[in-house]
Structures are given as C-alpha cells and as structure tokens.
Amino acid sequence: MARDFARKFYNGKEWKKCRAAYIKLKHGLCERCSRPGYIVHHKKYLTPHNINNPNITLAFENLEYLCLECHNLEHMGTSVVRHDVRFDSEGNMISKWVEMKN
C-alpha cells in the first residue's frame, strides 16, 4: 500500500506516464523471472526526503518491473501471496471481496 507521503506522487500524471512507458519498455514481463509483471518497483525506496526528486522517483535506472511474487520477495522476504487482496496500479492494497461486491 502506498504510504501517505507518496499518495500524491503515485496518483500524479508524471508517475502514470512514466510507469506506462517503463512497462512497455519491459514488454510487460517481470525483470527477475519473466512472468507477467505486476508493479513498477523503486530500487531505491521512496522516502519523505526523496519523493520530490525526479532522479529517484521517475528515473528508469531506479525502476524495476516485477510480478507480485518477486515484489513480495523484495519487500517481505517471502513468496507467500495472500489470495484475499491485490494491489492496484499505484500499489494500494485492495480487498478482492470489495471488488466482488461491485
């Protein structure tokens, strides 16, 4: 889930354009395992101190397209995937139960 300090950035047009271009460049495949990608990951994690630095937030050199399993391994050190939630394009966690009701 996007942290509060990063929500505005992830909802902004600059990130959405950057993200789409990066996914296209990587042909939609996870850079670690070649399965379909899921989330554009920042190699250098975003912080309140660097969130306004486009050399970190928007630089392709700091991005990596990952599938959900590889992203979970990166952040949690485990490949366990919860089946009751997913992440949207901005990295926000969404309950699948909410989606099923809509």
pLDDT tens sequence across 12-43 = 999 999 999 999 999 999 999 999 999 999 99
Euclidean distance between CA atoms 93 and 30, whole angstroms: 20
Identify the H or E element spanning 63: strand 63-66
Strand-pair category, 63-66 with 85-87: unpaired
Residues in the chain: 102
If DSSP codes are grouped into helix, strand and coil, which group holds residue 99?
Answer: helix
pLDDT tens sequence across 33-69 = 999 999 999 999 999 999 999 999 999 999 999 999 9
Residue 96's pLDDT is 61
* Number of domains, the chain: 1
Euclidean distance between CA atoms 15 and 35, whole angstroms: 23
Could you tell me the residue range of the domain that residue 13 belongs to?
4-101
Residues 6+ apart with CB under 8 A from 85: 93, 94, 95, 96
The alpha-carbon radius of gyration of the chain (Å, integer) is 14
Q: What is the greatest pairwise CA distance in the chain?
A: 40
Q: What's the pTM value of the predicted model, to 2 decimals? A: 0.72
